[in-house]
A and B are shown apart, each in its own frame.
Chain A
């Protein structure tokens, strides 16, 4: 247990004393705030349009469904781009600087390394996602009617965290396979991209094929969270992806011993 906590603390220290975490936060905030603004402007335009032409439709419009839900969905896509950047160094860097030797010659088990690094990265992920709370908070401050459905904000963030955690586990595993951060980032990005676009193929198919493809896509599973529902299937999907990544990381670390 102690070595895992030691690794967790060290990783957090490195994340927050080097530009890695801050660079990720900056990019993430800029992109998500751009999406938020676009959704907000679109929502405003539609309100204006409906007020002039179809006033009876106004009662069906609401901020949560038309801004927050799509924002959760788009934020999930941003994670496809940002997560490889925060996971690439986790193990690749240890191999390149030969500090991996330190972990191998001390009483540290593979699971200590995998979990220590995984949990530290989840802290970074949680802080990053917490930044998006600013958007509904701002709207809540100025909203005159209706306001923000905070349960939906909550499930959306939970969904994003679960999805991010699964992405981190995969990124960690891929980082364990190479000593090059660039290679780790590129492969992780490709893997996450694949998990996203496999859902697109579903629209071109029908029946069982479409169903299978859709359930493989990591982004499709965020839909329930985004609309404010908790679906056990989606929770199980993200959890199993996380555990798979962690298990493979431990295996990769064990294999390392024999080289």
Chain B
């Protein structure tokens, strides 16, 4: 579903991503780990077609991200680290706006918005201004926005950051349900989250891949994922 070959992204002379290659199969949930500044967000933004790569090839659902960014953007739902919310709008108005932005025809907008409101449990806040929502609800609105138009690929950048334990459990449950019929790339700092949600783990460090394996191969009774992460990304 996602093919990344020798991807390089430089800001000036400084490489943020330094020649990484990986692929994600249809229906797989990939945990994308790494210390802050390792190049996770840059890689994810390139996958969405928002940011052009310096070198390398990236394709999503068989479409080249550089040649057909518009087609790729239609296939990908993206939740950035900071949910892109308009505080002046209420939840429904915001979701309707994003649905139209994705080019959904007028008659489908309403039903599609209703669907993601149900999926993300936003029923009780549908008429509230986004400015007045709690962090957990804002995160859910961000996720709902990514689900509009039912994209095949979901790219989620730290979706549970800053949430309380109950909210984290809810969002995790939601992601697990979504994983049943979507390809998901999930970046996170919370390692137990990876164990609960992902089948495969990719660890990046300083723009390079230091581990790419199934979860069970990176952990064992003697070694937790935490230790593996620590060993691979320590200075």
What sequence of 0s and 1s flags, for each residue 75-107 of chain A, a beta carbon within 8 Å of any chain B beta carbon? 000000000000000000000011111111111
A114 at the interface (CB under 8 A from B): no
Let me know if B137 is at the binding interface, CB within 8 A: no
Interface residues on A, range: 20 to 34
Q: Does B206 contact A (CB under 8 A)?
A: no
Check A104–B50 contact: CB distance below 8 A: yes
Out of A13, A100, A105, A108, which one reaches B48, CB within 8 Å?
A: A105
| Among B48, B49, B97, contact of A10 (Cβ-Cβ < 8 Å) | B97
- From DSSP, what is the main secondary structure of chain A's interface residues? helix
Q: Whose C-beta in chain A lies nearest to the C-beta of B83? A: A98
User: Are A102 and B49 closer than 8 Å at their CB atoms?
Assistant: no
Nearest A residue to B47 by beta-carbon distance?
Answer: A105
Q: Are B49 and A6 in contact, CB atoms less than 8 angstroms apart?
A: no
Q: Are A2 and B103 in contact (CB under 8 A)?
A: yes
A70 at the binding interface (Cβ < 8 Å):
no
A258 touches B80 (CB 8 A): no
The total of Cβ contacts below 8 Å across the A-B interface reads 75
Residue from A98, A106, A107, A257 having most chain B Cβ neighbours under 10 A: A106
Is B86 touching A99 in the complex (CB atoms < 8 A)? yes
Asked if B210 is at the interface of the complex by the 8 Å CB criterion, the answer is: no
CB interface residues, B 72-94, toward A, < 8 Å: 73-74, 76, 78, 80, 82, 84-89, 93
Q: Do B97 and A105 touch across chains, with their CB atoms under 8 A apart? A: no
Residues in chain A near residue B102, CB distance under 8 A:
3, 106-107
Q: How far is the CB of A124 from chain B (nearest CB, A)?
A: 15
A18 touches B74 (CB 8 A): no
Question: Bound complex: CA of A177 vs CA of B98, how far in Å?
Answer: 24
B89 touches A101 (CB 8 A): no
Interface status of B139 (Cβ within 8 A of chain A): no
Contact of A26 with B by CB under 8 A: no
Which residues of chain B are within 8 angstroms of A129 by Cβ–Cβ distance? Answer: none
A223 at the interface (CB under 8 A from B): no
Interface string of B83-127 (1 = CB under 8 A from A): 011111100010001101111110000000000000000000000
Report B-chain residues with C-beta under 8 Å of the C-beta of A102. 84, 98, 101, 145
- A7-19: CB near B (< 8 Å → 1, else 0) gives 1011001100110
Query: Shortest Cβ distance from B139 into chain A, in angstroms?
Result: 14
| Bound-state Cα–Cα, A18 to B87, Å | 11
Residue on A nearest B155 in the bound complex, by CB: A105
Q: Which of B73, B82, B84 has the most CB of A within 10 A?
A: B84
- Evaluate contact between A257 and B50: CB separation under 8 angstroms: yes
Contact B86 A105 (CB under 8 A): no
Tell me, in angstroms, the Cα distance from A103 to B69 when the chains sit together. 13
Question: Judging by beta carbons under 8 Å apart, are A14 and B50 in contact?
Answer: no
CB–CB A105/B88 < 8 A: no
Interface check B51, CB cutoff 8 A: yes
Q: Which of A3, A17, A101, A109 contacts B50 (CB 8 A)?
A: A101
A101–B101 CB distance below 8 A: no
Residues of A within 8 A of B (CB): 2-3, 5-7, 9-10, 13-14, 17-18, 97-109, 257-258
Known: A99-B84, A101-B50, A258-B52. 18 other contacts (CB 8 A): A2-B103, A3-B101, A3-B102, A9-B97, A10-B97, A17-B88, A98-B82, A100-B84, A101-B80, A101-B84, A102-B101, A102-B145, A103-B101, A105-B45, A105-B50, A105-B73, A105-B76, A107-B73
Identify 27 residue pairs between A and B in the complex whose beta-carbon atoms are under 8 Å apart, listed by A's number: A2-B100, A2-B103, A3-B100, A3-B102, A3-B103, A6-B101, A9-B100, A10-B97, A14-B86, A14-B89, A97-B85, A97-B87, A98-B84, A101-B78, A101-B82, A102-B101, A102-B145, A103-B101, A105-B45, A105-B50, A105-B73, A106-B102, A107-B71, A107-B102, A108-B101, A109-B70, A257-B50
Nearest 10 A-B pairs (CB), nearest first? A6-B100, A102-B84, A104-B50, A99-B84, A105-B48, A107-B73, A105-B78, A105-B50, A10-B97, A98-B82
